[in-house]
Amino acid sequence: MRSILRLVMSVALPALLFTTAPAQAASCPTLLNRTFNDLQDNKPQNLCQYAGKVILVVNTASHCGFSPQERGLQALLDKYGPRGFVVLGFPSNDFHQELDDPTQIVSFSRTTYGASFPLFAPSHVTGADANPFFAALIRASGTSPKWNFYKYLIGRDGRVIAAYSSLTSPDNADLNAAIVRALAQRP
Could you read off the pLDDT of 49-76 as tens digits, one per residue?
Answer: 999 999 999 999 999 999 999 999 999 9
Beta bridge mates, 44: 37
**Concatenated DSSP letters of 22-85:** HHHHHTS-GGG--EEEBTTT--EEEGGGGTTSEEEEEEE-TTSTTTTHHHHHHHHHHHHGGGTE
The CATH number of the structural domain formed by 26-184 is 3.40.30.10
Rounded to two decimals, what is the model's pTM? 0.86
Q: Distance between terminal CA atoms of the chain?
A: 46
Could you read off the pLDDT of 70-121 as tens digits, one per residue?
Answer: 999 999 999 999 999 999 999 999 999 999 999 999 999 999 999 999 999 9
Could you read off the pLDDT of 129-183 as tens digits, one per residue?
Answer: 999 999 999 999 999 999 999 999 999 999 999 999 999 999 999 999 999 999 9
**Any idea which residues carry the catalytic annotation?**
64
- The domain ranges of the chain are 26-184
Could you read off the pLDDT of 2-44 as tens digits, one per residue?
Answer: 444 343 334 343 333 333 333 444 599 999 999 999 998 999 9
- Closest by Cα among 86, 90, 89, 66 to 77: 86
